[in-house]
């Protein structure tokens, strides 16, 4: 019983290769146990009436290095050196080279990276894990929410959070924000087929024209279908299931999008980034003033552009960053900034390409 009224019951749910956290209550405390391959759903009851259900993601082992400004701040007058005592002092005790292992698996050999590159890839790796886990929960009909560890740091460190000690947004903050959008398209591969789910958390239904299928990184090859869709309020539903096909998954994306600017496209890749044959995209941006201290940046690309990063002056707050663009896609990003933003920004895709990985 919780507070003498609410009871928490745990039920195991099968969920492929992902790792999640089993939760239970015993006496006055909580017991946590990592169980590979399972989701454990918590059901909250008041008497016999179910209040809600939720799942808790095990994210505590997804460490991330801080933003460059934060590293400089806590080093103070000392030079920033990755093998220094200061660096080790600001590294979480439980971090056992998992950051470098993640970078090596997904992006590049960590020993070849500069400090800036290492910080970038660390943030992208954590963002991938957080975003993927939140989507995995959200696409399930029997999950009303998810928890992850954790939100903000209690001091400057290589740790678990999406907001650092100085209240700066880490790269993963944007991945979590996108995963928690009011309406979300989610793609997953299961047994050679691609499943498309839509999660609508708005209190009103929606409809639109859906386009889904596969396309090459340069957009020259594709097989896309279109159909009209509708989605009731506060629901999750399967929109489409289609064969993955025999396309080369080192140069192919599976995608879904609707003709609504507020709903972001879903993009699925089945190989790690460092194994993809991505060509260097041409990313461009235009800036227009929207209102007092508000600017609109239109970002576009000719080819698939992963991890597009807006270079902004200090104090600028974008509503999104470190996002992927499909071939030929244009996206509008609002930025809050006190001052004149024109001429102070640029955008590029933040990953290595070709032999540079």
Has residue 29 got a pLDDT over 60? no
> Per the domain annotation, does 250 fall within a domain?
yes
Has residue 57 got a pLDDT over 60? no
Has residue 7 got a pLDDT over 80? no
Which regions of 222-293 does DSSP assign to beta strands (E)?
Answer: 222-231, 235-243, 252-258, 266-268, 283-291
> What is the pLDDT averaged over residues 241-252?
95
* Sheet with 252-258: strands ordered across: 222-231, 206-216, 252-258, 266-268
More confident residue, 81 or 48: 81
* For the chain, percent of residues with pLDDT exceeding 90: 65
Chain length of the chain: 357
* Sign, Cα dihedral of 222, 227, 233, 234: negative
Cβ 132 vs Cβ 73: under 8 Å: no
- Identify the pLDDT of residue 141: 80
188 and 262 assigned to the same domain: yes
- Residue at a domain's end among 150, 179, 208: 179
- Identify the pLDDT of residue 146: 76
Structural domain tally of the chain? Answer: 4
188 and 241 assigned to the same domain: yes
pLDDT band at 144 (very low <50, low <70, confident <90, very high): confident
| Average pLDDT, rounded, for the chain | 83
Cβ 324 vs Cβ 305: under 8 Å: yes
CATH of the domain at 218: 2.60.40.10
245 and 311 assigned to the same domain: no
> Per the domain annotation, does 257 fall within a domain?
yes
Range of the domain at 44: 6-56
103 and 164 assigned to the same domain: yes
- Identify the pLDDT of residue 164: 93
């Amino acid at each position: 019983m919780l507070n003498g009224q609410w009871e928490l019951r745990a039920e195991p749910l099968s969920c492929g290769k992902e790792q999640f956290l089993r939760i239970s209550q015993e006496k006055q405390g909580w017991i946590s146990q990592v169980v590979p391959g399972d989701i454990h759903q918590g059901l909250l009851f008041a008497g016999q009436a179910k209040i809600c259900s939720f799942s808790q993601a095990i994210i505590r082992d997804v460490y991330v290095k801080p933003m460059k400004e934060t590293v400089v701040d806590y080093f103070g007058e000392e030079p920033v050196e990755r093998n220094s005592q200061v660096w080790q002092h600001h590294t979480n005790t439980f971090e056992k080279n998992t950051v470098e292992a993640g970078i090596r698996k997904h992006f590049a050999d960590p020993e070849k990276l500069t400090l800036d590159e290492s910080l970038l890839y660390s943030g992208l790796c954590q963002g991938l894990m957080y975003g993927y886990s939140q989507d995995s929960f959200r696409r399930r009909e029997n999950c009303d929410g998810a928890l992850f560890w954790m939100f903000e740091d209690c001091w400057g460190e290589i740790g678990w959070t999406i907001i650092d000690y100085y209240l700066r947004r880490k790269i993963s903050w944007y991945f979590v924000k996108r995963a928690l959008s009011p309406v979300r398209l989610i793609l997953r591969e299961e047994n050679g087929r691609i499943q498309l789910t839509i999660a609508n958390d708005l209190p009103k239904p929606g409809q639109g024209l859906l386009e889904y299928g596969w396309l090459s990184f340069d957009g020259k090859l594709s097989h896309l279908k279109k159909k009209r869709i509708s989605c009731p309020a506060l629901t999750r539903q399967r929109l489409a299931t289609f064969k993955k096909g025999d396309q080369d998954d080192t140069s192919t994306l599976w995608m879904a999008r609707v003709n609504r600017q507020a709903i972001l496209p879903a993009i699925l890749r089945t190989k790690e980034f460092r194994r993809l044959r991505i060509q260097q995209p041409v990313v461009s941006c235009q800036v227009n003033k929207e209102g007092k201290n508000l600017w609109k940046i239109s970002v576009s690309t000719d080819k698939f552009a992963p991890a597009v990063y807006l270079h902004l002056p200090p104090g600028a707050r974008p509503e999104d960053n470190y996002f992927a663009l499909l071939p030929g896609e244009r996206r509008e990003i609002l930025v809050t900034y006190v001052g004149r933003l024109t001429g102070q920004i640029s955008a590029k895709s933040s990953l290595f390409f070709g032999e540079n990985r």
